[in-house]
Amino acid sequence: MDKKDHCDYFQSESQNVKPKHYCSIPEHNNQFTCDENGGEWVQRSSWGIDPPACEEAQWTRDNHLGNSAMHGEHEGYASSYNWTIPNDIHENCVLRLRYNISTADYDGWGFDSDGEFVDAASNGRQNSPVTQDQIVEYYGRRYEMALNTDQYGRTFQDRSHQFEIRERPDDVPDDAVIHNLNVRGKRGNIVQVYPAVEYDFVPNRLHTQVGDYVHFQWTGCDTNPAGNDGEGTRQTDRSNIAQMDTQGENLPVDYPEDPMFDDARLMSRMAFIDQENCANGDVDDEDVTNCQKLNAAPTPYFDGGIYRVNRTGEWHYMCTRNNNFSNRSQKGYITADDTFPTWAIVLITLGVAAIVVGAILGGVALYYKTHPRTFTKV
């Protein structure tokens, strides 16, 4: 939302804190049609958890699916929300994403006589401030507006995604931060994938601290449109990680001096993504046994595992498959800082030094007080 005036309303109406109803016949989503079709309008209790966060959305140009103006302290990042996964282990979770169409031509927060929010049910009312293909006068002439009232006061682009929440591994401390490094987008150039985007790592700039953990995992697909541009077997999405020297380059570095992972076998696994039964010699780029194009990956989903950040540094990486002109620049980097920033270490050091000096001076003063004759002149 673009303002937080109504946060209290939305938070109090959430099923986190308030019981909600549903129809025993799933295709009916309101009590009237549920009753009319012989269904039962059933109440389900609240989830009994804190109300959801209500925050002002990052600014973007209207009807623009690209980057936002600001993301934290950085400009030019895709709009996003930093979500801490709830501690609720379950194999069947759903994330529902929606956005609403609104207009300032009427009071959408209480235009109805009963003071309720306006929705599509207001269409066609005599006192409606907007009407379908409305005729207006402007400087003595009449104009027909391209106005579709069905698009006002409604939820638009309802997207749902199913996922599971797994238990934290026993060897990862309860208070440790785990960053999820994933891949977004799909096969195809920017026109073919719209309204999605081309391949990209998420986050493509990951800032960590020593002691954090990173879970390397991403999904792929075997059912993309057959005509979409890309490398490897048609209709498939595959990604890997190969380290580079800088973001401006387009070739990986064999055995880099400062590898992302201490184990060379892990470096190889991240790049080879568990492929087996690879063809020998030259094979067609789309051949399913061509491991050089990542075609032989056992599943579209790759779980690279969870690894602790053990040292400071900065590491750049790329996907070797999705970096041609049509699917360009699937790259990312990871930085790792000390648990305490430099200024904090300096401040702590100065504080400790002050305590030591104070203790010495206090000891000297106490000695003077308990031995008054020690320095008496004769």
Q: Give the model confidence (pLDDT) of 333-373 as tens digits.
A: 999 999 765 555 556 666 666 676 666 766 666 656 666 55
Torsion of CA 281, 286, 290, 295, to 10 degrees: 170
pTM to 2 decimal places: 0.74
The tens digit of pLDDT for each residue in 152-168 reads 767 777 778 888 898 89
Write out pLDDT tens, residues 227-268.
Answer: 888 899 999 999 999 999 999 889 999 999 999 998 999 999
Binning pLDDT at 50, 70 and 90, where does residue 112 land? Answer: low
Question: Contacts by 153-156 with C-beta closer than 8 Å and gap 24+?
Answer: 153/101, 153/102, 153/108, 153/117, 153/118, 153/119, 153/120, 153/122, 154/100, 154/101, 154/119, 154/120, 155/98, 155/99, 155/100, 156/98, 156/99, 156/100, 156/101
For the chain, the structural domain boundaries read 1-56, 99-160, 166-339, 346-378
Which of 53-62, 139-148, 216-225 is least confident? 53-62
- Which residue has better confidence, 232 or 115? 232
Which CATH superfamily, name and number, covers 166-339?
Answer: Cupredoxins -  blue copper proteins (2.60.40.420)
Question: Would you state the structure tokens that stand for residue 211, as one six-digit string?
Answer: 């002691």
List, in sequence order, the alpha helices (H) in the chain.
Answer: 7-13, 31-36, 190-193, 264-272, 342-370
Residue 335 CB-density burial (10 A; 0-12 exposed, 13-18 middle, 19+ buried): middle
Query: Which tokens sit at 125?
Result: 């009312």
